[in-house]
Amino acid sequence: MAKATAKQMTKAAIVDHLANKNQLTKRQINGVLDTLNTLAYKEAKKGFTIPGLGKLVLSDRKARMGRNPQTGEPIKIPARKVVRFRVAKHAKDAILGSK
């Protein structure tokens, strides 16, 4: 039997929830979220932390050997920078429960 999955909250649902919870307009909440996103994108190279949630960090991925899945031919994958999100311990404990 297939497992039923809960729907993920949309941006509109998040804005609606925050507006109702904080007695602010949806337009104000939308502005705050847009400003937070813009700031996170700009500051991600230095590391951007959202207290209690996690941190955006830029990290280097080493060059490595991979293979073409269609032909099986080995290929070299070059080194590159990637953006990662490290979940805060408090968030992990709140979601998964502490051990």
State residue 99's pLDDT score: 65
Section 45-58 average pLDDT: 92
Is 54 part of any domain?
Answer: yes
Task: Using the structure block, give the residue that is written with the tokens 């804005």.
Answer: 15
How many angstroms separate the CA atoms of 14 and 36, rounded?
14
Question: How many domains does one find in the chain?
Answer: 2
* 51/25 same-domain check: no
State residue 28's pLDDT score: 96
Domain range for 26 is 9-43
State residue 73's pLDDT score: 95
* 35/55 same-domain check: no
* 52/16 same-domain check: no
3 vs 13, residue with greater confidence = 13
Q: State pTM to two decimals.
A: 0.72
How many angstroms separate the CA atoms of 90 and 93, rounded?
5
Amino acid at 88: A
CATH of the domain at 96: 4.10.520.10
Contact 57, 83 (CB under 8 A): yes
